[in-house]
Amino acid sequence: MDNFWANALWSVAPTVLVGLIFWLVMRSIIRADRNERKAYALIEAEERARLGLDKPAT
């Protein structure tokens, strides 16, 4: 019976490791995208303020 549990663990380990690697890669991609969008929004807001486009039309 000891051999059964060792085999079961070794059977599941590759799937868990690949899933963990996939999760880490996707997490880093999503974080990078979020940070890039935040930086772009900041730059765009600065440009709009510099050009005076934030003023409401009257």
Mean pLDDT of the chain: 91
Does residue 58 fall inside a structural domain? no
In contact, 54 and 48? CB cutoff 8 Å: yes
The gap from C-alpha 29 to its chain's centroid, in whole angstroms, comes to 4
Does residue 27 fall inside a structural domain? yes
User: How far is Cα 27 from Cα 33, in angstroms, rounded to an integer?
Assistant: 10
What pLDDT does 17 receive?
Answer: 97
Average pLDDT over residues 1-29: 93
Q: What distances in angstroms separate CA 2 from CA 5, 15, 38, one per listed residue?
A: 6, 21, 53
Domain count, the chain: 1
What pLDDT does 53 receive?
Answer: 80
13 pLDDT higher than 90: yes
User: Residue 41: which domain range?
Assistant: 1-51
Per the listing, tokens 């999503």 go with 30
What pLDDT does 14 receive?
Answer: 96
Does residue 57 fall inside a structural domain? no
32 pLDDT higher than 80: yes
Does residue 56 fall inside a structural domain? no
